[in-house]
Every structure is written in C-alpha cells, then in structure tokens.
Amino acid sequence: MKAFHSPLLVLFALLWTHLVVYLCLSQIASCSFNHSLNILDFGALPDGKTDNTAAIHKALSEAKRSSKSVYIPSSTWPFVHHGMILVDSVLMYGDGYSSWLHGSNENATAIQMIGANVQIANLRLTSVAQERRTTPQPSTVYCNRASNFSVDRIWTQPLPGEGYVYDDTHIHGVGGIFIYGCFNGTITNNSLNYTFADGIHMTAGSRDILIENNMIENSGDDGIACVTYLPKTAPDMDTLRRLTRNCGNLIYRSNRVKSNRWGRGMTVIGGDSIIIEDNTIEKAAGSGVWIASESSYNTSTAQHVMVRRNTIVRPGVYGLHGKCHPNNTLPAMGVDNQNSRYAGSVQNIMFLDNLIMDACLDSFRITGREISNIVFAGNTLLSSARWGMYIAPVNGSFFLIGNTITNSTLNSYVGVNEQEMMVIAYNKFSNALLNGNGRIQIAHLYAAQRFQFTNNSYSQNVSTNAKRMIEAVVIPKQMVYDHSNTSVYSTYFPNIGKLNVTSFELPLVNDLTFTIPFHVNNLTLTEQDLFNSPSFPSSMRGRVQLLAVFSGTGGQADMNLQRNQVTFRMTLSNKATFRYSVILKEIESVATATITIERQVAPPSPPVPLLPSASVKHEFSSGVHSSQPKTSRVNQASERRLSQWTLISKQLFILVVILISIGMVF
C-alpha cells in the first residue's frame, strides 16, 4: 500500500519539527519535569471573595506527597482563605508582591509552618483587622517547632485603610512573624508593616536563626524580640525555673526598625549567645536595644550578647510628629534585671561601636541586680535629653571604655554604684548642659569596691553649674585615679586622708601591627595570636585577657562571643587601625592600645607586549584597537573547527528530528 504524500501533512510535520527544536534548544527547562504545583490547577480562584483554603491545602498535600513545591501565581485580586494554611515540609512561593494571599479570619493564623525543610517566599500576605493577642494566633506567619525553615521576601500589611497611625490613635494591624520552638532557620528580606504586636517574635527555645535585612515599620510592639518565659515554680517556691531552654544562637543583622508605636526596637528578654549588629532603629517608642529580664512577664535572664555597630536615632518618640512618648521610661540602649524570682544573672553583655542620637531620656542605662561583666566601648552618644550614661545600684563589674559622650542635658555620666569593679577609661566627655541642680559631671560613687578613672578627657563649651568631676559618698577600697584632661573641675573624696585607700596595678600594653597579603581582605586572630606578638609585653602573657576590640578605621572588627578571637575585615584601603583593651585577670583593671592591619602592596602588573608594527597598522586601519595580544593561528584554527563541529551537530540533530516526524506522519 502506497503512503499518501500530502503537501499539507509535510508542511505540518516541518512546522511541528521546528516547534520541537525551538522548545528543546531555547527553553530546555520546558522539556524537563515541572517541580512545582500551581494552585490554579487545584481550583483556587483569585477573585478576592472565594474561600481557597481547601484548594491550597490540596496543592500542599500533593506537593508533600510528590516532593514538589507550591506556586502562588500573580493576580490582580487576592486568593482569599478563611482557614489557616498549613505548610508542612514544602516550599510555597510566588512572584513577589503580585502573588497575594489574604486571610479573612481575624482569629486564625494565616500561615503555619511545621515539619522540616519548610519555606515560604515571594508572597504578599494581608489580613482583616486584628487586635493584639497573647498567643501565636493570629500571626501572619507562625513557625511551630519546624526545623530548617526559611521566611524570605514576604510583605505583610493590613488591607488599605487599616493599620495606620494618626497621631496617637492606632487602627488595627496585621499579624507578624511568630517563631515558636523552631531552629536552623532564616528570616530574611521581609517587609512587615503595621503588625499588631511584635514584628518578629521568637520564643520557646527557638535557636540557630538568622534574622537579616528585614524592614519593620509601625509595629505595635517590639520590632524584633527574643523572649524566654518562666512559667514554673522551683522547689523553694520562691524562684522560677525555665520551662524550656533559652532562645539563642541568634543573629539580628542589617535590619531596619522604624516608628514602632510601642515597645522597643530590638530586645533580648531572656536568651543567650545573640549578636545584634549593623541595624538601624529609628523612632522607637521605647529603647532602641534592650537586654533584660522582666518580672512582669516572668522571663529568664540574658547572657553572652554582642551589640555592635548599630545606629539608633531619636528613641523614645511616638506619633507622626515625633514627640517624646509621655509614658516611656526606657533609655536608648540598656541592660536591666528586675526578675528577682529567677536565680540567675544578666552577664557578659558587650556594646561596641554603636551610635545613639537624640535620645528622649538616657542614652545608656544599667539597672537591677545580679548584673556583671558589662562592656560599653567605642560608642558615640550625641544629645541625650537626660544622662549620657547612668548606672543605678547594681553589683558586678562594668567597663566604660573609649566612648564619646556629648551634649547630655544632665550629666555626662552618673553612677550610684555598688560595683565590685568600675572602670571609666579613655572616654571623651563634652558639654553636659545640666539644666537642673546637678553638681557632678562624671561620676557619683557609692560603695564601689574598686574604681579606675584613667585617660579620660573633658571639654565644656557651654556654661554649667557643675563644680566637681567625681564625687564619692563612700570611698572605694581601692582606687586608681588620674585627672586626665579634667583638672578644671575638682573631686570630692570625703575623709580620704583618714581611710586606708590603696592603689592597684594596671596592665601594660603596646601597639601591635600585623600584615596581610595584598589580595586578602580578612584576618582572623586569636587572643593568643595577639599576646604572642613580639610587640606585646612578655610580662603580661598569662596575666591578661582580651576584653574588647573596637573603633575601627579603614575596616571593622568582629569579636566572637567568647572574646578570645577577632576577625578584622578590611575595606578598600591598605591600612586599618583598631583599639583593643585587655583586662588584668586578678584585679580587672584595664589598659588600651592600638592594633594596625597593613595590606602588602600589590606587585606591579607585567608590561603589555607591543604588537608588531604590521598588526598595529592593520588594527588602526580597520578602526579597531585592542591592547590584548592577538590569538595565535593554532588557537584560531581550533576555534573554527569547534564552531564547525557545533554547527554540524545541531544540523544533524534537526535532521534526525525531521526524519522521525515525517515517519510519524506517513
């Protein structure tokens, strides 16, 4: 039987062949298996009114069963869901702001994440008006004991017309991100607007989480918070014990928190091993950064926290007009331990290289009991409405080193202390305005055991009624004091001649220099690397510990939480300088010097070989000039052969597809 040769069929075969070739060569991904499920294929409708809860759940269930992801397509109107969307061990993603899910139930969490390897990304999440709750419901995103989770590029906001602030009136907001007992996760690149409570809240032992590059505006409470609660009574029926371990191993990095209506910018209310770095907090209603244990919420204590290179602007304000909040009692940055029912202490907290501007109250404050080993170094405090630094009666050791404090309305520093050790060294104080009856510019001592006041400077360009630099109600048992550059004011140590006040030893330090190759940007040094430097005093080795590295010029220094290692990161310059402080172990006295990191000069580039005159003449005559050497004839021939073989291979592939297609047709 003869085949029927129809020109129409031949034309169809050729067109089909070209389509196959185009898809396979130009869009290879289209020929592979599709690893995502579109919720439209499960009956979801983006009409702004249909309840798509069941359809989305079908897609999520199938995605988990088949190890695929779920795709939320772009739409003009939102995919409405009245019930909670449970994302279990899958990725649910969209195209960004145009992929829109809307929760219509004010009493339900919009999205709950459970299981392992669960992710949501590139979605806009809105909801109806919500009020503040004390439980995770309703949160916009609720991570419930999940592991290896990710929340990335999520926009949360109320519907238009809801969740706005008019002066001091708050119209309902939307839920934030609530992390409950989750670990090994990232919360990155999200935009959270008008949350009814905390923007990002972590509790129930959540650990090993990076919170980076998020924008949080107009939150109803803290911008980012780590909280550990203490709901159970210990056997002595007086103190409380943790129900879970602390939340910890957290990094808050490069986030921006702006204009929260109540609460603080960033907090650690019970937690450990936390780094808060390179963030910007603007117009927080309370503190910019607050490290504390709070008795009103029965929370745990905070330990091993690093707060560095943050910028805090105008803390303590509220409303559109930026007025100081009348009910705020918190400083711009500080530490507090009021929870006497918990047998523990707040300790090992470091504040390095932070900038605080225009605080409504104190720039820095420490209050409470059982607080120890607080380092405040290299910070700049500009224009505080009250004290620059204030330390209420607390015990422990405190180190205020290398700070710049200027334009405080009251004193530069006031301390009513019961410390074991108080160090005020290498600071620059200027222009305390003293609008009250204050008489002391720097320190007011009460029952400090040891006191070091060395290498400070003071300048006053405005009138003041202060008469004394330092006043002691009770003389310290041991004291090292120099006038530094502050001798224009007197000191008041009552009956010091009749008391047995002894001095103590200060550590010795020298400036150190290290060199790195020209192509290297980072240098990591341990404490022993520093102390084994030939320039470091050999008599101090084994007697001192590294306390802080701060005030980098030409780079930045990142200490670890154990304070025994630091990574220096260079900028484009070939030289960077830093200050480092060491502490004498047996006494806790302090000395400071400089670390210099120098980059080797790069070797000169080899000269570019001159082209033969004929080649140069040809290039200029053809209007093309290149400083690169010409490709050899062997390489040119090889490239031509490779190009020819590539073309032949493509032609053979197309020919085979055409023959197969014609065979299918005939």
Count up the domains in the chain and report the number: 2
Query: How are beta strands 141-144 and 36-38 bridged, if at all?
Result: unpaired
Tokens of 345: 């202490």
**Residue where one domain finishes, among candidates 504, 533, 551:** 504
The pLDDT of residue 463: 67
The answer to whether residue 182 is domain-embedded is no
Q: Which residue has the higher pLDDT, 35 or 71?
A: 71
The domain that contains 563 carries what CATH number?
2.60.40
- The owner of tokens 């960033």 is 266
Find how far residue 366's CA is from the centre of its chain.
23
Same domain, 494 and 516: no
Secondary structure of 581-595 in the HEC alphabet? Answer: EEEECCCCCEEEEEE
Handedness of CA 255, 259, 265, 269 (dihedral sign): negative
Global pTM? Answer: 0.84
Query: Are both 400 and 456 inside the same structural domain?
Result: yes
Whole-number Å distance between alpha carbons of 265 and 333 = 10
Provide the pLDDT for residue 392.
78
Q: Is residue 437 part of a domain?
A: yes
Return the residue matching tokens 């334009």: 407
Residue 561, helix vs strand vs coil: coil
Is 98 within a domain? no
Does some domain include residue 525? yes
Confidence of residue 610 (pLDDT cuts 50, 70, 90): low
Lowest mean pLDDT: which of 188-192, 361-365, 397-401, 476-480? 476-480
DSSP 200: E
User: Is residue 663 a part of any domain in this protein?
Assistant: no
Indicate whether 229 belongs to any domain: no
Report, as an integer, the average pLDDT of 560-586. 95
How far, in Å, are 31, 211, 306, 371 from residue 584 at the CA level? 69, 36, 22, 20
Q: By the 8 A CB rule, do 577 and 553 touch?
A: yes
% of residues, the chain, pLDDT over 70: 73
In this structure, the answer to whether residues 393 and 495 fall within a common structural domain is: yes
Residue 150 counted as domain residue: no
Residues 400 and 477 grouped into a single domain: yes
Question: What percent of the chain lies above the pLDDT cut of 90?
Answer: 51
Higher pLDDT, 390 or 516: 516
If we measure between CA atoms, which residue out of 333, 396, 395 comes closest to residue 359?
Answer: 333
Domain's final residue, options 540, 568, 599: 599
Per the document, the length of the chain is: 666
Confidence bin at 648 (pLDDT 50/70/90): low
Supply the mean pLDDT for the chain. 82
Higher pLDDT, 480 or 583: 583
- Residues in Cβ contact with 205 at an 8 Å cutoff, skipping those fewer than 6 apart: 181, 228, 244, 245, 246, 247
Pairing of strands 522-526, 565-570: antiparallel
Domain boundary among 460, 475, 504: 504
Q: Are residues 405 and 499 in the same domain?
A: yes
Containing structural domain, residue 494: 387-504
Query: Is the pLDDT higher at 629 or at 513?
Result: 513
- Give me the mean pLDDT over the 129-135 stretch: 50
Phi, then psi, of 305 in degrees rounded to 5: -125, 135
Q: Are residues 523 and 416 in the same domain?
A: no
Asked if residue 498 is part of any domain, the answer here is yes
440/478 same-domain check: yes
Position 636 pLDDT exceeds 70: no
